[in-house]
Amino acid sequence: MRVYLDTNVLVAAFATRGLCADVFRLVLAEHELIISPALIEEVTRTLTKKIHVSDQVVREVVAFLRAAGSTVGGAPELPPIAVRDPDDAVILGEALSGGADVLVTGDRDLLVLGEVGALRILDPRGFWELIRRPGA
């Protein structure tokens, strides 16, 4: 399964132990991680400005993501979808461009969409339950 983890999920995976870290490890072990330039930029900004992670650690995180993930290009033209935050539209577009099957996010503005075309939008718990369901 091709999985796009949103910034909030990745930052939580690197900054804490718990469900997001478990989801991240699961995706790395059993699925294909989809990343994008906008995602890398947002993760870098969040780790640096909000979490105050050192530049060296941020560089290591970014290098790891680039090595572990499949990078997609720019976002395609989106069908008319009401997304409040323009950054969310970019992330959604890049997940679609990367052919992701699932976008995992904690962002309520994206979660309310449920799915866009073949792309399912789930929170980390919903993704975990989907993957760990017998026969999944």
What CATH number does the domain containing 7 carry?
A: 3.40.50.1010
Domain assignment of residue 7, yes or no? yes
- The amino acid that residue 20 corresponds to is C
Euclidean distance between CA atoms 47 and 12, whole angstroms: 10
* 9 Cβ contact list (under 8 Å, min separation 6): 20, 23, 24, 104, 105, 106, 124
**Can you state the angle between helices 19-30 and 7-15, rounded to 10 degrees?**
110
The CA-atom distances, in angstroms, between 24 and each of 4, 66, 78, 104, 131 are: 10, 14, 27, 10, 12
**Structural contact between residues 60 and 14, judged by C-beta atoms closer than 8 angstroms:** no
**Structural contact between residues 78 and 92, judged by C-beta atoms closer than 8 angstroms:** yes
pLDDT band for position 132 (cuts 50, 70, 90): confident
Domain assignment of residue 134, yes or no? no
Task: Reply yes or no on whether the pLDDT at 126 is more than 60.
Answer: yes
**Structural contact between residues 78 and 96, judged by C-beta atoms closer than 8 angstroms:** yes
Please count the structural domains in the chain.
1
**Residue 88 belongs to what domain range?**
2-129
pLDDT tens digits along 17-60: 999 999 999 999 999 999 998 899 999 999 999 999 999 999 99
Domain assignment of residue 135, yes or no? no
Give the global pTM.
Answer: 0.90
Domain assignment of residue 136, yes or no? no
pLDDT of residue 32: 97
Helical spans, DSSP H, in the chain: 7-15, 19-30, 37-45, 55-68, 86-97, 108-111, 124-132
